[in-house]
Amino acid sequence: MTSQEASAFRIAIAGGGIAGLTLALVLKKFKNDKNIVIDLYEARHKFSESGAGITAWLRTRSIFDTLGLGENFEKRTASPRMMFRKGNNQDPFFFYEFEVPHGSATLSRQDMLDILVDDLSPELLPYLHIHLCKKLVSYEQDADAVVMHFEDGSSAQADILIGADGLASPTRKEMYTKMSEDMRGIDPERADILKKHCLPSWIGTHAYRALLNHRRIEKINPNNIFLNQLIVGFGVRQHIISYPISPEVINILFFDTSPNSIDKPLQGPSMVPSSKEEIMALYKDWEGDAREVIETIDDTSRWAMSHVRALPTYVDCRVALVGDSAHAMATHLGAGAGQAVEDAYILGHILADPIVNKDNVIQALNVYDTIRRPIAHDVVEESLRLGGVYELDPTAMREDMDSAKLEAGDREELQKLVSVFRDITTVHFTGMPENDWYQARAMLYGRLHKQNGHL
Ligand SMILES: Cc1cc2nc3c(=O)[nH]c(=O)nc-3n(C[C@H](O)[C@H](O)[C@H](O)COP(=O)(O)OP(=O)(O)OC[C@H]3O[C@@H](n4cnc5c(N)ncnc54)[C@H](O)[C@@H]3O)c2cc1C
């Protein structure tokens, strides 16, 4: 370690997914000559994303623009028109078609990660140390530092640890286990609540994911409605989302929700192999085009969708959570990656600011928590609600809406769903992340100046 490194502000990031990599890039963009060293620990042997398509909204795209990645991003995205269809019987029809609002665009998840990785070349970043095959298993912290322990038996130290380690986050598990243990002797009931936050909970929905071969479907039926557009097929406790992710490949998800199962603990593994027969049994009453594409599926898996709901904090002293680790959400709003990017943008800006140092970083992390947590919580809840809208769930509807009419396919009533969709997606265009940073900055300077005795 050089002497410059020895005196540096050391930031450890556990997880090299969308949140972790974006954080490294935001630090690179804004740190100027601040003496920061970043250690990024990724459990896998390379940076990779599983799953197929992803939606990015204007807010996310504006951050990519700020990071200088906008052009690369635009090259890889598409903006298909979105079509709402009532498709769960033999009398299917489209009831709305529109350009998705708020600058929505789709791209493959691996493309999104590649855009970030391409900008992280180690030659450019002598202060970034990437450690692959390093799986965090636990940490401990004191007033001055965090010590991390890895599966291979090694340990490392940093001034702060950022848990960007995804849905099953060991950082969150460790954080909430420790907070629960500390609370046990004071308030056992509160300790039990904290303990529950260690793990994500099931939203009550299974998603069957598959990639469809465009040419194969075209041969069977060149007019199949799933060939070209972004389609949301509305049903009762079921819905379909489908959109092309390349000229040859269509990404499709079939959702199936069990009544009264939200936030029940997940029984069994979150992902299991499945079959077209299983999907067909669930979707046997749906329209012919849906059954036609199901018949072409060679490979599919059943995924139990989980979320991380309403954590009481994203920060414990020198440790903070970002991305899915803090607020994994249902995919219905297509906002999980965007929220991960926004966390990284605000936190990276804060940590790169010249006013923040090893001694006041705990207050700085709390500013991140104050700004980001309410926004991300909202998006978690709205994501869940949008799934309810797609599945005609009465609890997701407005008071002026009639579920029986919706189920029966009343066109006028179905039109009301469009305004609900617009209300929900509005969370993505009320302001830009830049405004959240201005607010964070004012709070940061206010709190740290007060602490330093300035008025
Ligand atoms: C099928 C599907 C569809 C989705 N669609 C959308 C969409 O349309 N729009 C959208 O915005 N979002 C979508 N999402 C959500 C989005 O992918 C996530 O919100 C996003 O990837 C979160 O990024 P992250 O970096 O927090 O977590 P992840 O991308 O999961 O990255 C976590 C990283 O941490 C690493 N890691 C895990 N454990 C450890 C450990 N112990 N030590 C070190 N490293 C570790 C993992 O290997 C991984 O690289 C979708 C998700 C899925 C599964």
Question: Is pLDDT at 4 greater than 80 in this prediction?
Answer: no
Pick the closest to residue 441 from 356, 341, 343, 340 (CA basis): 356
Note whether 279 and 383 are same-domain residues: no
Q: How many CB atoms lie within 10 A of CB 275?
A: 15
CA of 109 to the centre of ligand 1 (A): 9
Q: Is residue 95 part of a domain?
A: no
Query: Among 307, 339, 357, where does a domain finish?
Result: 307
- Is residue 53 within 8 A of residue 24, CB to CB? The reply is no
User: What HEC string does the chain produce?
Assistant: CCHHHHCCEEEEEECCCHHHHHHHHHHHHHCCCCCEEEEEECCCCCCCCCCCEEEECHHHHHHHHHCCCHHHHHHHCECCEEEEEECCCCCCEEEEEEECCCCCEEEEHHHHHHHHHHCCCCCCCCCEEEECCCCEEEEEECCCCEEEEECCCCEEEECEEEECCCCCCHHHHHHHHHHHHHHHCCCHHHHHHHHHCCCCEEEEEEEEEEEEEHHHHHHHCCCCCCCCCEEEEECCCEEEEEEECCCCEEEEEEEEECCCCCCCCCCCCCEEEECHHHHHHHCCCCCHHHHHHHHCCCCEEEEEEEECCCCCCCEECCEEECCHHHHCCCHHHCCHHHHHHHHHHHHHHHHHCCCCCCCCHHHHHHHHHHHHHHHHHHHHHHHHHHHHHHCCCHHHCCCCCCHHHHHHCCHHHHHHHHHHHHHHHHHHCCCCHHHHHHHHHHHHHHHHHHHCCCC
Q: What is the pLDDT of residue 455?
A: 47
Which of 84-88, 117-121, 196-200, 239-243 is predicted least confidently?
A: 117-121
Across 285-297, average pLDDT: 97
| C-beta of 36 in contact with ligand 1 (< 6 A) | no
Ligand 1 atom 31 nearest Cα: 17
Query: Among 307, 330, 362, where does a domain finish?
Result: 307
Ligand 1 atom 21 nearest Cα: 337
Question: Is pLDDT at 453 greater than 70 in this prediction?
Answer: no
Note whether 284 and 205 are same-domain residues: yes
| C-beta of 14 in contact with ligand 1 (< 6 A) | yes
Q: Which tokens hold the place of 2?
A: 């050089």
Confidence category of residue 447, pLDDT binned at 50, 70, 90: very high
Q: Is residue 152 part of a domain?
A: yes
Which of 179-188, 292-301, 318-327, 394-403 is predicted least confidently?
A: 394-403
Q: What is the pLDDT of residue 123?
A: 65
Query: Among 260, 277, 307, where does a domain finish?
Result: 307
Atom of ligand 1 nearest to the CA of 47: 49
Query: DSSP code of 188?
Result: H
Across 340-369, average pLDDT: 97
Atom of ligand 1 nearest to the CA of 60: 11
Report how far residue 315's alpha carbon sits from residue 212's, in angstroms, rounded to the nearest whole number: 42
Residue for token pair 């620990």: 41
User: Which of 173, 174, 324 gets mutated to test ligand 1 (max ligand atoms within 8 A of its CB)?
Assistant: 324
Mean per-residue pLDDT of the chain: 92
Q: What is the pLDDT of residues 148-162, one digit of tens each?
A: 999 999 999 999 999
Q: How many CB atoms lie within 10 A of CB 412?
A: 9
Across 135-147, average pLDDT: 97
| C-beta of 55 in contact with ligand 1 (< 6 A) | yes
- Is residue 182 within 8 A of residue 387, CB to CB? The reply is no
Note whether 41 and 124 are same-domain residues: yes
Q: Is residue 418 part of a domain?
A: no
Pick the closest to residue 324 from 348, 342, 340 (CA basis): 340
CA of 335 to the centre of ligand 1 (A): 12
Across 198-206, average pLDDT: 94
Confidence category of residue 431, pLDDT binned at 50, 70, 90: confident
Note whether 332 and 232 are same-domain residues: no
Note whether 287 and 266 are same-domain residues: yes
Note whether 136 and 215 are same-domain residues: no
More confident site: 134 or 125 = 134
| C-beta of 42 in contact with ligand 1 (< 6 A) | yes
Q: Is residue 282 part of a domain?
A: yes
Note whether 192 and 218 are same-domain residues: no
More confident site: 284 or 4 = 284
Across 120-143, average pLDDT: 90
| C-beta of 163 in contact with ligand 1 (< 6 A) | no
Q: What is the pLDDT of residue 126?
A: 82
Q: To which H or E segment does residue 253 belong? A: strand 249-257
| C-beta of 39 in contact with ligand 1 (< 6 A) | no
Atom of ligand 1 nearest to the CA of 109: 17
Q: Is residue 82 part of a domain?
A: no
| C-beta of 135 in contact with ligand 1 (< 6 A) | yes
| C-beta of 244 in contact with ligand 1 (< 6 A) | no
Question: Is pLDDT at 454 greater than 60 in this prediction?
Answer: no
Report how far residue 35's alpha carbon sits from residue 165's, in angstroms, rounded to the nearest whole number: 25
CA of 16 to the centre of ligand 1 (A): 9
| C-beta of 15 in contact with ligand 1 (< 6 A) | yes
Note whether 23 and 122 are same-domain residues: yes
| C-beta of 331 in contact with ligand 1 (< 6 A) | yes
Ligand 1 atom 52 nearest Cα: 51
Q: What is the pLDDT of residue 452?
A: 65
Report how far residue 433's alpha carbon sits from residue 74's, in angstroms, rounded to the nearest whole number: 19
Pick the closest to residue 119 from 2, 210, 21, 253 (CA basis): 21
Confidence category of residue 51, pLDDT binned at 50, 70, 90: low
Note whether 210 and 295 are same-domain residues: yes
| C-beta of 365 in contact with ligand 1 (< 6 A) | no
Q: What is the pLDDT of residue 361?
A: 97
CA of 164 to the centre of ligand 1 (A): 9
Which of 70-79, 173-182, 389-398, 445-454 is predicted least confidently?
A: 445-454
Number of domains in the chain: 2
Percent with pLDDT over 70 in the chain = 96
| C-beta of 348 in contact with ligand 1 (< 6 A) | no
What CATH code is carried by the domain that includes residue 272?
Answer: 3.30.9.30
- Is residue 352 within 8 A of residue 27, CB to CB? The reply is yes
Note whether 362 and 441 are same-domain residues: yes
| C-beta of 19 in contact with ligand 1 (< 6 A) | yes
Q: What is the pLDDT of residues 233-273, one digit of tens each?
A: 999 999 999 988 778 889 899 999 998 888 876 667 889 99
Note whether 300 and 343 are same-domain residues: no
Q: What is the pLDDT of residue 147?
A: 98
Q: Which tokens hold the place of 216?
A: 């194969």
Question: Is pLDDT at 76 greater than 60 in this prediction?
Answer: yes
Q: Is residue 351 part of a domain?
A: yes
Residue 266 identity (one-letter amino acid): L
Which of 98-107, 227-236, 346-355, 404-413 is predicted least confidently?
A: 98-107
Note whether 35 and 181 are same-domain residues: yes
Question: Is pLDDT at 121 greater than 80 in this prediction?
Answer: no
What CATH code is carried by the domain that includes residue 318?
Answer: 3.50.50.60
Please give the C-alpha separations between residue 319 and each of 160, 162, 252, 313, 365, in angstroms, as whole numbers: 6, 6, 37, 11, 8
Q: Is residue 381 part of a domain?
A: yes
| C-beta of 341 in contact with ligand 1 (< 6 A) | no
Atom of ligand 1 nearest to the CA of 328: 19
Domain hosting 223: range is 201-307
Atom of ligand 1 nearest to the CA of 20: 25
Q: What is the pLDDT of residues 301-330, one digit of tens each?
A: 999 999 999 999 999 999 999 999 999 999
Q: Which tokens hold the place of 324?
A: 């899915």
- Is residue 224 within 8 A of residue 217, CB to CB? The reply is yes
Q: Is residue 357 part of a domain?
A: yes
